[in-house]
Amino acid sequence: MMFAGLRTGEVLALQWQDINFENKTINVERGLTIEPKFNSEGKVIKRITIISETKTTCSKRVVPMPDILINALNDYKQRQSQISNKGKVDLLDKHCFVFANDDGTFRTYSGTQKILNRFLKKYKLTEYNIHFHGLRHTYSNMLFEADQNPKVIQSLLGHKDVKTTISTYNSVDKSYFEKATNVLNEQFKELDNKKIVENIKDDDIDKIIEMLQERKQQELQEQEYEREQKKKKKEKDFEM
């Protein structure tokens, strides 16, 4: 989830045939969901866990795997191989769930949550409010902070609308958008300076110097303003 951006249900429904170690990709085809069962009065009488198609059509996708994830899965395969040798179920069969129980059945949300809770408690991480879906957010944020195209991130996360990707799955502050604005500013500034050089005349030297000085002064004022804004933000964060 942290290094491929999959949903919890997509992770639990993964089969070994979906992992392509040679091409370094994960093929997302299905997901684990909880389906309610109703009585004749329309009341929920029970909920069952099933494997079905992905959340949306857009959710079907091929996701690249970074090396850190490939290495982790290879280590995990060795663990599953040891369990398979002791039991009757081949946990490395291509149709077997990647994160199966020892008997080959798929894990449920609640069962997997208990595993995570034990892990967090064992390593004294309970105070950091770590949960499964947060790992997917982390994946998205890492890509945003690396200045990746939002449309690319949308595709990797399997979102139908890029608005969901931008508004929900990233906690990047306004500096991300300021970077984009600064790129445009620099490009137009470069064009503007070229125009000055092309039209330069001897009797315009003083005017040009004066104009450049004004620009420099304006830049200094902008930098001072940014420093003040950052200072105010730190003070506000401290108060909160």
- The CA R_g of the chain, rounded to the nearest whole Å, is 27
From 30, 136, 137, 139, active-site residue: 136
Q: Residue 165: CA atoms inside 13 Å, Cβ hemisphere, count? A: 23
**37 given a catalytic annotation:** yes
On whether the CB atoms of residues 63 and 6 are closer than 8 A, the answer is yes
Catalytic residue among 30, 61, 137, 159: 159
Query: Cα–Cα distance between 180 and 195 in angstroms, integer?
Result: 23
Annotated catalytic residue 159? yes
Active site residue 137: no
**Annotated catalytic, 76?**
no
Up-side HSE of residue 79: CA atoms within 13 Å toward CB? 11
Euclidean distance between CA atoms 78 and 231, whole angstroms: 51
Q: Residue 28 in contact with residue 10, Cβ under 8 Å?
A: yes
Active-site residue flag, 95? no
Q: How far apart are the first and last CA of the chain?
A: 30
123 is catalytic: no
Identify the active-site residue in 114, 133, 160, 230: 133
* Residues acting as catalytic residues: 7, 37, 133, 136, 159, 169
